[in-house]
Amino acid sequence: MNRRHFLKGVAVAGASLSLGANRLFAADLSGKPAAGKIGDFKISLAEWSLHKALFAKDAKITNLDFPKIAREQYGIEGVEYVNQFFKDKAHDSAYLKDLKTRAADHGVTNVLIMIDGEGDLSAKDDGARNKAVENHKKWVDAAVALGCHAIRVNTGSNYSPTNTEAAAEGCGKLAEYGAANKLHIICENHGGPSSNPDALLALIKAVGKPNFGTLPDFGNFPKKKDGTYQIDVYEAIARMMPFAHGVSAKSYDFDETGRESNLNFGRILKIVTDAGYNGWVGIEYEGSRLSEPAGIKATKNLLEKFRGSEYTPA
């Protein structure tokens, strides 16, 4: 057994203790799913898909408009907020009550909040790490107030497949606070060590708490200069899926048939199905050729096309 496969085995075996062996061993971790039916799942919209419109100097929409936009413009019934668009409102009870009411009025589920800019949960310095934990706690409170099931965190830059001590300490403290509030703390492959499945799964194992899991993103893996991926993204997603409390359907561009140009959505969604996951799959369009509305609609069409369809390996 070489080092890579040994680390894979250690991370997977340890993480199974925290999230349940049944779901883990039901999954095919190869990233090469067999032919079969793609299962059901719910479609949500990640607010980052509208970041250009929200960040525009003459922005005509705000975070408060997001649930209505998701429902009325795209026919989507679940939303994934980004804290950057209401970063000073985490403890503003009136604001959060208004946002929750708006979502309910439009029949929209508040799924999660993606957290950025609140410090490094893996910082070597105890003080900096503990401050990051405290900074994140207010977003746990906000997520609970909105009725979300999770917050997505950035796990930091100070860990590796063989060194998770600081990251596990910081993430573990936050996971404990989340568990006390019946909330999941989930980690996206979002750059740095989190986009290395060996490192991320080692961290999941080290924390070892049922509410501390993953948010596999279809596209956030390191790329070569020619734009191709440095690793097998399908294998990476397959390995992350047994611990998933959410899924991010990242899209960039589409070919003339409506398929994503860089990623095989059918293959990924069969991996998602084989892991026993049937929760929210969040649209996160991040392309530049299509407008944000067009990219969101193209991604939704693709997800709907594959949902319930028969997958056949190429």
What angle, 0 to 180 degrees and rounded to 10, lies between the N-to-C axes of helices 66-74 and 93-105?
10
| Count of C-beta atoms within a 10 Å radius of residue 287 | 20
Q: Is 213 helix (H, G, I), strand (E, B) or coil?
A: strand
Average pLDDT over residues 210-215: 98
Average model confidence (pLDDT) across the chain: 93
Say if residue 280's pLDDT is above 50: yes
pLDDT at 22 (0 to 100): 57
Which residues are registered as beta bridge partners of 310? 37
Share of the chain above pLDDT 90, in %: 89
Residue 11's pLDDT band (cuts 50, 70, 90):
very low
pLDDT at 25 (0 to 100): 62
Q: Which domains does the chain have, with CATH numbers?
A: 3-309 (3.20.20.150)
pLDDT at 21 (0 to 100): 53
Residue 314's pLDDT band (cuts 50, 70, 90):
confident
Which residues are registered as beta bridge partners of 150? 112, 184
How far is the C-alpha of 190 from the C-alpha of 246, rounded, in Å? 14
How far is the C-alpha of 119 from the C-alpha of 132, rounded, in Å? 4
Question: What's the farthest any 2 CA atoms get from each other in the chain?
Answer: 57
Which residues have a Cβ under 8 Å from the Cβ of 219 and sit 6 or more positions away?
233, 250, 251, 252, 262, 263, 286
Residue 1's pLDDT band (cuts 50, 70, 90):
very low
pTM: 0.92
Q: Name the residue among 178, 195, 309 with its Cα closest to residue 248.
A: 195
pLDDT at 227 (0 to 100): 85
Q: Name the residue among 186, 182, 179, 193 with its Cα closest to residue 122.
A: 193
CB-based contact 242:28 (threshold 8 Å): no
Interval 68-112: pLDDT, tens = 999 999 999 999 999 999 999 999 999 999 999 999 999 999 999
Cα of first residue to Cα of last residue in the chain, in angstroms, is 29
Q: Name the residue among 257, 261, 217, 228 with its Cα closest to residue 49.
A: 217
How far is the C-alpha of 239 from the C-alpha of 237, rounded, in Å? 5
8-12, 202-206, 259-263: segment of lowest average pLDDT: 8-12
